[in-house]
């Protein structure tokens, strides 16, 4: 029996789709697959390497001998090399040894479609099949309703390597996260968890944003089936799972996608379009059909095989613009003479169309920091087709305002109110992400001015304002209890801080905010519509007070919100009342149980005195550095 038997999983139709960039489930064909041929068990291998002269599978099973198992090139000019190797199975490690037509250059590469990888710093691929008996039928059945744009989205962003460590200061496993993390996210009331990249990556300081194993959950925390179990457990507890996904760039590591077959296969050959100087990484060639099929297949893979509920697409701005982080002369305009990357824009639209066509109840979310128009508009209406977009301008302006000493805030209230001039131009998610607590920016609580009491009061006010501003919410781990140190990917969060009242108060407040948010249709039913928001008054700069209404479909659910951005309590503060009936306070950030001073509104004085353009008014106490929510 020959060492490599001619065998293929590809049909002519598959090849035509692949060449046209329209094969969105390439993971079912390319890579390594356990199969049986003529009664013999073994593994089928297929790899795209059009510039190769020879391609060999090497591993421990053949002593890494390049002569032993050479694959066969297909006859259809697809550039795919394939073959069946008998009697090797699950758990074997392997790589592809590629001899290039390009001056006989040799490369040794991990499988781009590997489902499992060795634990870094080892870099080989592992033949694997991950069986899992899914128990999330209920979630998958009603996910479309749960994940709609008119439903609550309170996202807890997590870096698995540093959320919590075990007693030996080592990583928790996927199985341990399925207990500890799931319980915590559920108790805190978040609707979704978002994982910073869990696809295999070689270098811990990259935080996972430099991927080498696009189809493999990182082996740092366990096996692929262990990760499936973690997603399944979240679903069984009514919590959605969003993955950070990085189609914008990839590292130059020798075993990765770069210069794969001795040519610029996955990366754009023009360094002006193919290399990121900021990240020292390579940029995908979005104009190449097979590369588009690779990336879209990868997005589909996580939604299909791992039941993931959404993808947060990283660094979209860097994809959209040819001159992103480049000086004059370092980029070339497109055919229309401007700076838009037409191939990347076309790819993004195709990606979103493929995702939303193939899956009900999922969302794609763009991390996009520019004023590019229509990011969250459907492709059919000329947009990029994302479900949501991070509201980076709001995040920047809000943090800039909160960092100011309260005495100066009256001069800068426009930093807060400006967001309402563009809040409904996109479906915005409000992010306080990991990027805001690194590189000398300080933790959120330490970016707040004042003494310790004022810092904590400011942070509670910040979170209250965030949850009542139109849009969905994202909070990076640690913020919810006032982590004092900047985030460090190498160490656990400072969970010991919860023994102190201020930190426990922040955590309790965020927990109550989440439960109020999920139970208040006024905060999510029209979160992307101007009909869901109404100012009562934004003109009281002198007292640094803002008052507004959030609205749902039923006016009985409307909420009145008042914020005081100074440490001076506003007693008997009159605001216009657009509502009929009695009002009650449903949340107050100054409640003693949160570490506040206890300035709550047990009884609200109503008056027939017109105010703020309304026929009636009320008098309330707005506590120092506090937010009051009335229903």
Task: Answer yes or no: 367 catalytic.
Answer: yes
Backbone phi, then psi, for 260, in 5-degree steps?
Answer: -60, -50
User: What's the rounded Cα separation, in Å, for the pair 455 and 503?
Assistant: 11
User: What's the rounded Cα separation, in Å, for the pair 585 and 621?
Assistant: 11
45: exposed, middle or buried (Cβ count in 10 Å: 0-12, 13-18, 19+): buried
Name the nearest CA neighbour of 246 among 391, 351, 91: 351
Cβ atoms of 78 and 15 within 8 Å: the answer is: yes
Residue found by looking up tokens 């310790």 in the block: 452
Name the nearest CA neighbour of 463 among 388, 522, 501, 514: 514
Close Cβ partners of 216 (under 8 Å, ≥ 6 residues apart): 114, 115, 116, 117, 125, 199, 200, 224
Close Cβ partners of 265 (under 8 Å, ≥ 6 residues apart): 48, 49, 50, 51, 257, 259, 291
What six digits make up the tokens of 239? 């919590």
Long-range contacts of 32-35 (CB under 8 A, 24+ apart): 32/94, 32/111, 32/113, 32/114, 32/115, 32/125, 32/127, 32/128, 33/9, 34/89, 34/90, 34/127, 34/129, 35/7, 35/9, 35/84
Backbone phi, then psi, for 395, in 5-degree steps?
Answer: -60, -45
Where would I find the beta strands (DSSP E) of 480-556? Answer: 533-537, 545-550
| Neighbouring C-alpha atoms within 13 Å toward the C-beta of 516 | 23
Q: Which of 309, 367, 436, 590 is catalytic?
A: 367
User: What's the rounded Cα separation, in Å, for the pair 196 and 312?
Assistant: 9
Cβ atoms of 204 and 489 within 8 Å: the answer is: yes
Task: Answer yes or no: 452 catalytic.
Answer: no
Residue found by looking up tokens 């009320």 in the block: 618
Name the nearest CA neighbour of 427 among 493, 364, 519, 498: 364
The DSSP secondary structure of 612-629, one letter per residue, reads TTBSEEEEEEE-TTEEEE
Q: Which residues is 217 bridged to in the sheet?
A: 199
User: What's the rounded Cα separation, in Å, for the pair 600 and 583?
Assistant: 14
Pairing of strands 472-476, 428-432: parallel
Is the torsion defined by CA of 430, 432, 435, 439 positive or negative?
positive
The DSSP secondary structure of 544-576, one letter per residue, reads TEEEEEE--SSGGG-EEEEEE-SSS-EEEEEEE
Cβ count near 350 (within 10 Å): 20
What six digits make up the tokens of 143? 């996910």
Show the DSSP H helices in 403-451 as ranges. 406-409, 414-417
Cβ atoms of 76 and 60 within 8 Å: the answer is: no
Q: Which of 314, 368, 415, 480 is catalytic?
A: 314
Any idea which residues carry the catalytic annotation?
A: 314, 367
């Amino acid at each position: 029996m020959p060492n490599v038997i001619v065998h293929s999983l590809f049909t002519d139709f598959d090849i035509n789709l692949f060449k046209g960039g329209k094969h969105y489930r390439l993971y079912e064909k390319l890579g390594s697959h356990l199969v049986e041929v003529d009664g013999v068990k073994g593994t089928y291998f297929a790899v795209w390497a059009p510039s190769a002269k020879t391609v060999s599978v090497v591993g421990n099973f053949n002593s890494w001998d390049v002569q032993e198992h050479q694959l066969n090139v297909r006859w259809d000019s697809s550039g795919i090399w394939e073959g069946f190797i008998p009697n090797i199975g699950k758990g074997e490690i392997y790589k592809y040894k590629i001899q290039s037509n390009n001056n006989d250059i040799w490369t040794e590469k991990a499988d781009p479609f590997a489902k499992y990888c060795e634990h870094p710093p080892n870099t080989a691929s592992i033949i694997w099949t991950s069986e899992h008996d899914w128990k999330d039928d209920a979630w998958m059945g009603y996910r479309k309703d749960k994940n709609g744009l008119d439903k609550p989205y309170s996202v807890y962003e997590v870096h698995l390597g540093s959320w919590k460590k075990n007693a030996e200061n080592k990583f928790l496993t996927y199985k341990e996260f399925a207990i500890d993390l799931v319980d915590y996210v559920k108790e805190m009331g978040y609707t979704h968890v978002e994982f910073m990249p869990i696809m295999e990556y070689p270098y811990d300081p990259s935080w996972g944003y430099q991927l080498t194993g696009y189809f493999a959950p990182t082996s740092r925390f366990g096996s692929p089936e262990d990760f499936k179990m973690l997603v399944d457990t979240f679903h069984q507890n009514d919590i959605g799972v969003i993955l950070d996904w990085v189609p914008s760039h990839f590292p130059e590591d020798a075993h990765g996608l770069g210069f794969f077959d001795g040519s610029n296969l996955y990366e754009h050959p023009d360094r002006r379009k193919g290399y990121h100087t900021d990240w020292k990484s390579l940029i995908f060639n979005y104009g190449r059909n097979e590369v588009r099929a690779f990336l879209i297949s990868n997005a589909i893979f996580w939604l299909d095989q791992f039941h993931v509920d959404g993808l947060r697409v990283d660094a979209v701005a860097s994809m959209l613009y040819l001159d992103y982080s480049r000086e004059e002369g370092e980029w070339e305009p497109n055919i229309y003479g401007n700076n838009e990357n037409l191939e990347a824009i076309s790819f993004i639209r195709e990606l979103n169309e493929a995702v939303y066509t193939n899956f009900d109840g999922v969302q794609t979310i763009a991390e996009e920091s520019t004023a590019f128009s229509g990011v969250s508009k459907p492709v059919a209406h000329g947009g990029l087709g994302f479900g949501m977009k991070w509201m980076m301008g709001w995040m920047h302006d809000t943090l800039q305002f909160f960092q100011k000493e309260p005495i100066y805030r009256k001069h800068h209230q426009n930093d807060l109110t400006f967001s309402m001039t563009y809040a409904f131009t996109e479906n915005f998610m409000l992010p306080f992400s990991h990027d805001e607590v690194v590189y000398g920016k300080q933790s959120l609580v330490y970016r707040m001015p004042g003494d310790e009491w004022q810092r904590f009061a400011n942070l509670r006010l910040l979170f209250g304002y965030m949850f009542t501003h139109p849009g969905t919410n994202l909070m990076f781990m640690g913020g919810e209890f006032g982590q004092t140190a900047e985030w460090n990917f190498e160490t656990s969060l400072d969970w010991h801080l919860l023994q102190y009242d201020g930190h426990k108060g922040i955590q309790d407040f965020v927990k109550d905010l989440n439960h109020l948010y999920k139970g208040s249709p006024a905060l999510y039913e029209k979160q992307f519509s101007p009909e869901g928001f109404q100012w009562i008054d934004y003109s009281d700069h002198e007292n640094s007070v803002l008052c507004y209404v959030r609205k749902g479909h039923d006016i009985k659910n409307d909420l009145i919100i008042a914020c005081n951005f100074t440490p001076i309590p506003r007693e008997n503060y009159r605001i216009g009342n657009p509502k009929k009936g009695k009002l009650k306070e449903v949340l107050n950030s100054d409640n003693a149980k949160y570490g506040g001073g206890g300035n709550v509104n047990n009884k609200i004085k109503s008056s027939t005195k017109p105010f703020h353009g309304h026929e009636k008014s009320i008098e309330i106490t707005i506590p120092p550095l506090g937010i009051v929510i009335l229903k």
